[in-house]
Amino acid sequence: MSHRRKFIKQSLLGSALILPGMASLDAVAGPSRTRKTEKPLILSTWDHGIPANANAWEKLKNTGSILDAVEAGVRTTELDMENLSVGLQGLPDREGITTLDASIMCGDGSCGSVAFVRQVKHPISLARAVMEKTPHVMMVGEGARQFALAQGFPMEPEVLSPKAQQEYDKWKMHSKYKPVINRENHDTIGMIGLDAAGKLAGSCTTSGLAYKMHGRVGDSPIIGAGLFVDDQVGAATATGLGESIIRICGSFLIVELMRQGRSPQEACEEAVRRLVAKNKQIEDIQAGFLAMNTEGEVGAFAVHPGFTFAKATGAGNVLMNAGSHFKP
């Protein structure tokens, strides 16, 4: 049976109905466990998750590969010129240089990541090349760029996007080094997906914290912090202030909590509690987690209100609000 026909047979409605619009959080909020399960299932962070999920869904339909789907999905955001926190159009570091971080992981433990990379339009595909074409997991900086060249990735000119240049010029007027927290609805994209047969994969890509110190790397390319996937249990991804997420090894923590029997929602809430306990000046820190288990149960939770995520199933692609530790 072709991938396409198999997918159609296995998915609930056969094809994606893309229905953007805000859904209530009944399915994921609150302590009680929701047993309603859906496969295939694709989740991704923030409002930009809607177009990313749509492309991931299409890819899954066409190739039957959840890995191809999570790569294709976030490539959408890497190209989105309106987005100032993913891709080469993202806000630069305090020297005015845009550096990118990305990771990709399959449920069998294969993974790859790149960090502090310049001039590569699709760091997620470079992360996949690290996973598939090298014996390594992580490559950084100039070495990663050289590897990209050797793999035939085109090098983009090092100019800021008009929007990023405008914002950077404004920032330079006062030029204090102050990490910008992520309260707005644009941020790192983390995507996790489950196919109809129960295989998992995830991807995460970012230009990192705006005006970071040159050389700073956040959670997104760190396997276990920004992303973790295990076919035996489930998957998790993170967004927000990377330092706070690395401190608790956030995505790995969530998968391990699920392994011990917590629901994805309970695991995300526990990770946020841990993050709140381990980080000072929590009022200035936003961080959020998304998780799913092999049954297709969903979890989402953030430190502060405002974290949205997109959920795609055979029934459609909807934007949802996650609950938060601090209430509105």
220 near ligand ASP, rule: CB under 6 A: yes
90 near ligand ASP, rule: CB under 6 A: no
Please name which of 135, 145, 134, 65 lies closest in space to residue 106, comparing C-alpha atoms.
65
80 near ligand ASP, rule: CB under 6 A: no
Residue 137 in tokens: 């997991």
Give the residue, chosen from 182, 265, 279, 313, that forms a contact with ligand ASP under the rule CB under 6 A. 182
State the Cα angle at 258 between 253 and 264, rounded to 5°.
Answer: 95
* Strands of the 298-302 sheet, one edge to the other: 227-230, 234-240, 287-293, 298-302, 323-324
209 near ligand ASP, rule: CB under 6 A: yes
Residue 13 in tokens: 């409605």
Q: Which is nearer to ligand ASP, 64 or 112 (CB)?
A: 112
Find the part of the chain contacting ligand ASP (CB under 6 A) among 49-57, 182-190, 227-235, 263-271: 182-190
- For the bound state, the minimum distance from the C-beta of residue 85 to ligand ASP, rounded and expressed in Å, comes to 5
Cross-strand partners of 309: 45, 320
Please tell me whether the peptide bond between 40 and the residue prior to it is cis, using omega within 30 degrees of 0. yes
Distance from first CA to last CA of the chain, Å, rounded? 50
188 near ligand ASP, rule: CB under 6 A: yes
Find the part of the chain contacting ligand ASP (CB under 6 A) among 35-43, 213-221, 251-259, 269-277: 213-221
- For the bound state, the minimum distance from the C-beta of residue 262 to ligand ASP, rounded and expressed in Å, comes to 23
- For the bound state, the minimum distance from the C-beta of residue 13 to ligand ASP, rounded and expressed in Å, comes to 32
Residue partners of 310: CB distance under 8 A and separation at least 6: 43, 44, 45, 46, 47, 49, 50, 52, 53, 317, 318, 319, 320
* Catalytic position from the list 45, 98, 188, 294: 188
Q: How far is CA 160 from each of CA 93, 115, 117, 168, rounded to the nearest angstrom?
A: 11, 19, 15, 9
d(CA 46, CA 110): 26
Please name which of 116, 113, 90 lies closest in space to residue 186, comparing C-alpha atoms.
90
Q: Which is nearer to ligand ASP, 234 or 250 (CB)?
A: 250
The yes-or-no answer on residue 45 being catalytic is no
294 near ligand ASP, rule: CB under 6 A: no
- For the bound state, the minimum distance from the C-beta of residue 316 to ligand ASP, rounded and expressed in Å, comes to 26
- For the bound state, the minimum distance from the C-beta of residue 304 to ligand ASP, rounded and expressed in Å, comes to 13
Give the residue, chosen from 77, 206, 279, 317, that forms a contact with ligand ASP under the rule CB under 6 A. 206
- For the bound state, the minimum distance from the C-beta of residue 179 to ligand ASP, rounded and expressed in Å, comes to 9
219 near ligand ASP, rule: CB under 6 A: yes
Q: How far is CA 197 from each of CA 15, 34, 108, 214, rounded to the nearest angstrom?
A: 16, 21, 14, 43
**Residues annotated as catalytic (active site), given as ranges:** 188
Binding residues vs ligand ASP (CB under 6 A): 85, 182, 187-188, 206, 208-209, 218-220, 239-242
